A and B are shown apart, each in its own frame.
Chain A
Amino acid sequence: MRFLQDQRAIETSEVAVIIAVVVLVAFGAYQILGARIAEVVLDVAGRL
Chain B
Amino acid sequence: MAHPLLPTQVILGVALLAWLGACVVFDLRSRQVPMLLTIIPLILAAAWRLFQGGWQLVLLTVVLTLISDLPQAKWRIPIGCCAAIVGLSVAGPPDMVYAMLVIFAVWGLWEIGATGGADAKIIIALVLLFADGMLFIPIVLVSGLQGLAALIARRKTIPYTVAITLGTAAWLWMGAIR
Contact = CB atoms under 8 A, between A and B. Distances in A.
Counting chain B residues whose Cβ lies within 8 A of the other chain, the interface size class is 35 or more
Main secondary structure of the interface of A (DSSP, over half): helix
B35 A4 contact: yes
Nearest to B68: A3
A13 B118 CA distance: 17
A7 B32 contact: yes
B77 to A, nearest CB: 13
Interface in A1-32: 1-17, 19-21, 23-24, 27
Nearest to A5: B35
* Residue among B34, B42, B114 having the largest count of chain A Cβ atoms under 10 Å: B114
B15 interface: no
6 contacts: A2-B68, A3-B120, A10-B157, A12-B114, A13-B155, A17-B151
Given A3-B69, A3-B117, A7-B38, 15 more contacts: A2-B69, A4-B117, A6-B118, A9-B27, A9-B116, A9-B161, A10-B158, A11-B115, A11-B163, A15-B147, A17-B147, A19-B144, A23-B136, A24-B144, A27-B137
